[in-house]
Amino acid sequence: MSDDYPPPDYDSIEQALWKEWCEQVQHEAGSGGPGLGYGTPPTARLLKRIRTFVFRFAYSEDEVLHKIRSDKMFAANFTKEPRRTGIHENIAAKWLERLPWVSDFEVLPKSGKNSLKVTSDGNIVFDVPGMNYPGKTLDFRWNTDNTTFYAMHKYTKEGGGNQDSQYQEMVELMQRFMRCRDSQIALMVIVDGPYYRENEARRLRELQSHQRIQPPMSYALPIGDVPDILERHC
């Protein structure tokens, strides 16, 4: 079944965005500048990046702007980074929403009164200010014929302090969901990227050791395995 729905190629989509956004940098540079007094000024985003470069290397803003406008390879250093725009989550959301078993798909808020968390007793609740529920908010929600699915999605390229902390948060999320009693829902922790696919495959195996195998079910899996699970719930 999974072969009928090949997973999204995150790397190719990211590379395409790098190229597309690189093409925009010289346009963002405009034709004027802080010390030039004429033309179109650079965008606020690019000017912020330029000022960081100026602070580090002691060039003037006008020198950096001139180099960006005249040298496309140099300009590429100032491209907006796709990974900082939530691109991997957006890719995953679009792919999941198109699956034939999925209806009423939602991308959940990251914060605020409509965001959702799993409490210490396994319930999925709105993140009420002041309640200090543990962990991160959930990313997606959708329905199948018989089940409401909640999901967290992470794409991780390599290990490190922040990435390892995110991984531990997902372990704790699955541990909390072990106490859930609502058999009409299910939890998916969708993990993609080399951190889970290559030398760190043990990370995925450890996450899967915290799966619930009786309703309410929980799953730790790469996105390409989602169709097989959804078919079982329909």
What gap in Å lies between CA 203 and CA 169, rounded to an integer?
13
How many Å apart are CA 201 and CA 221, to the nearest integer?
11
Q: Are strands 148-155 and 185-192 parallel, antiparallel or unpaired?
A: parallel
Q: Looking at residues 101-122, what average pLDDT do you find?
A: 94
For 40-92, how does the pLDDT look when each residue is reduced to its tens digit (9 = 90+)?
A: 889 999 999 999 999 999 999 999 999 999 999 999 999 988 877 889 999 99
Where does the pLDDT of residue 163 fall: very low under 50, low under 70, confident under 90, or very high at 90 and above? Answer: confident
pLDDT band for position 233 (cuts 50, 70, 90) = confident
Q: How does the average pLDDT of the chain come out, rounded?
A: 90
The answer to whether residues 129 and 165 touch, using CB atoms and an 8 Å cutoff, is: no
- DSSP-assigned beta bridge partners for residue 221: 190
Query: pTM value?
Result: 0.84
Q: Are 192 and 10 in contact (CB under 8 A)?
A: yes
- pLDDT on residue 66: 92
